[in-house]
């Protein structure tokens, strides 16, 4: 299996959880320091330096996994980044938006396409989205937009691949306790909680893994969309 962004946060928790169950795990990341730390801790797993927003790097990544393990049976697109943007103070440039959407939306879609072109019948595709896919946050409307796009992709892809038996799972965590969210004074869940919910949803063939505060979000949005939207969107 391949996990993008697998050297820290949710990705690292997923890598360790799957490895503990005997899976052959490969991870990728852009940070050399993160990769070196991962290799030191997990010498038996494959760690590849790769930029998932670059198609040539994607190809090299899939080549490396194929050379080591022969194939990919589970693809986990986890790499992403929340950038806080206030359009009333500093509207982003076209280049900034392109970079953000390339990582958070285009890359997982393109990597899915590249992986399926080699191995058309994957066991599972896991797309790590966010509760913000359902309610876009005030502090980062572009992140919410990208994750909403990933949510739509997961829904449509699930319908397309149903006849092949490929399980398409969307993981929707709330704010996760990582270095990137250390400055936020909000309720957070631990990365290993997200990993546990992901493995449970895969085992039970669920379409979505709703974690922590997001578990009731779809139902609450149906009952009181305006109130819940205002409340969640402020986080």
Give the relative orientation of helices 9-20 and 191-203 as an angle to the nearest 10 degrees.
50
User: What gap in Å lies between CA 16 and CA 148, rounded to an integer?
Assistant: 28
Closest CA to 82 of 15, 9, 30: 9
Catalytic residue among 13, 143, 153, 208: 143
Annotated catalytic residue 132 = no
Phi, psi of 28 (to 5 degrees): -135, 155
Sheet holding 124-128, edge to edge: 46-49, 26-29, 2-4, 74-77, 124-128, 167-172, 208-210
User: What gap in Å lies between CA 99 and CA 53, rounded to an integer?
Assistant: 8
Give the dihedral of Cα atoms 148, 129, 51, 86; nearest 10 deg.
Answer: 50
The residues annotated with a catalytic role in the active site are 143
């Amino acid at each position: 299996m391949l996990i993008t962004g697998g050297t820290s946060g949710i990705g690292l928790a997923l890598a360790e959880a799957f490895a503990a169950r005997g899976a052959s795990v490969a991870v990728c990341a852009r940070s050399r320091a993160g990769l070196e730390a991962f290799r030191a801790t997990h010498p038996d797993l494959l760690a590849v330096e790769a930029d998932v927003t670059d198609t040539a790097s994607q190809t090299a990544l899939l080549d490396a996994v194929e050379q080591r393990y022969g194939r990919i049976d589970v693809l986990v697109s986890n790499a992403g980044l929340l950038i806080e943007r206030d359009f009333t103070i500093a509207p982003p440039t076209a280049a900034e938006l392109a970079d953000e959407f390339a990582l958070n939306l285009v890359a997982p879609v393109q990597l899915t396409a590249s992986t399926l072109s080699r191995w058309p019948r994957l066991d599972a595709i896991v797309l790590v989205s966010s509760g913000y896919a359902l309610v876009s946050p005030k502090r980062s409307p572009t992140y919410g937009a990208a994750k909403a796009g990933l949510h739509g992709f997961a829904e449509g892809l699930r319908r397309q691949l149903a006849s092949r038996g490929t399980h398409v799972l969307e993981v929707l965590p709330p704010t996760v306790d990582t270095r990137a969210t250390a400055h936020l004074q909000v309720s957070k869940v631990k990365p290993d909680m997200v990993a546990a919910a992901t493995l449970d949803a895969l085992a039970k063939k669920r379409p979505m893994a709703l974690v922590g505060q997001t578990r009731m979000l779809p139902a609450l949005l149906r009952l009181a969309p305006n109130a819940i939207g205002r409340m969640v969107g402020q986080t």
